[in-house]
Amino acid sequence: LIQIEREENIAILRLNRPQALNAFTADMMVQIRETLDALGADAGVRAILITGEGRAFCAGQDLSDPFVAPPPPGGKPKDIGHLIDHYYIPMALALRHCRVPTVCAVNGVAAGAGMSFAMGCDLVFASDAAVFVLGFNKIGLIPDAGATWLLPRLVGRAKAMEMALLGDKLSATDAELLGLVARTVQADQLFSAAKAAALRLAALPTKALVETRRLFDEAQRSDFEPALRAESRAQSQLGFAQDYSEGVNAFMQKRAPRFQDR
């Protein structure tokens, strides 16, 4: 369902159901969550690169999974909320609270919750062959797995509403113009570009990067002054950490820093 590789001090998490466009199943979401937690707790891992095997990134929920099968005529409908509470939410939180930075290489189509999952990563690179589509509108659902929070913040309300209500496919080029992804890369260079970014993140002070993500998220629902105070609290903590001393000393001594205080 997923595949993990280690390279230097990064981990590569590959969604690995290419025959089903890497669509999520319940078991796969458990594996993703457990893997993100385990890699985040592993001192040898300083960044995680997430991508998909085959031509797609992820087609969202596997609609052929019995978990989401619509009821037969006259049958009792399943509670989709149960699937969301027990699988999607824990996976989305494991990603957003991961203790190391995450880079997503969107290698092909990202649909439904697959798009939400990509948007939840810290740095998102897309192949110029990738497309983004929410698709929920066509099956009578609302954008989930974090999309209602993430998408309007990334692209603004007008475009978010257009994508959610009309549900058209968005090209990678348009996704970059809108700010949905950080960068579009030629398909054959996507993996190496995303890996290079993950390795750069791995060489930086991890805690400060993860705190930056947390503060950006927290500031979305705070006023200016509370955001200033939250920055101060975080900075105060980071200022006691070894990575701060190492960074400043390395700068003053004109040498490359070696950050180890994960």
Q: Does 23 bind ligand LHQ (CB under 6 A)?
A: yes
Q: How many other C-beta atoms lie within 10 A of the C-beta of residue 122? A: 22
Q: State phi, psi for 14 to the nearest 5 degrees.
A: -110, 125
Contact 239, 211 (CB under 8 A): no
Rounded Cα distance, 78 and 72, in Å:
11
Which part of the chain contacts ligand LHQ (CB under 6 A), choosing from 95-103, 106-114, 182-190, 214-222? Answer: 106-114
Q: How many residues make up the chain in this entry?
A: 262
Among 111, 170, 185, 201, binds ligand LHQ (CB under 6 A): 111
Q: Does 133 bind ligand LHQ (CB under 6 A)?
A: yes
Rounded Cα distance, 14 and 54, in Å:
10
Among 57, 117, 132, 136, binds ligand LHQ (CB under 6 A): 136
Q: Does 109 bind ligand LHQ (CB under 6 A)?
A: yes
Contact 13, 32 (CB under 8 A): yes
Among 103, 113, 198, 201, binds ligand LHQ (CB under 6 A): 113
Among positions 173-232, residues that touch ligand LHQ (CB under 6 A) are: none
Least separation in angstroms between residue 175's CB and ligand LHQ is 14
Q: Does 144 bind ligand LHQ (CB under 6 A)?
A: yes
Contact 125, 106 (CB under 8 A): yes
Would you say 36 or 145 has its CB closer to ligand LHQ? 145
Q: Does 142 bind ligand LHQ (CB under 6 A)?
A: no
Q: Using alpha carbons, select from 230, 190, 216, 212 the residue that is nearest to residue 103.
A: 190
Among positions 71-90, residues that touch ligand LHQ (CB under 6 A) are: 80, 83-84
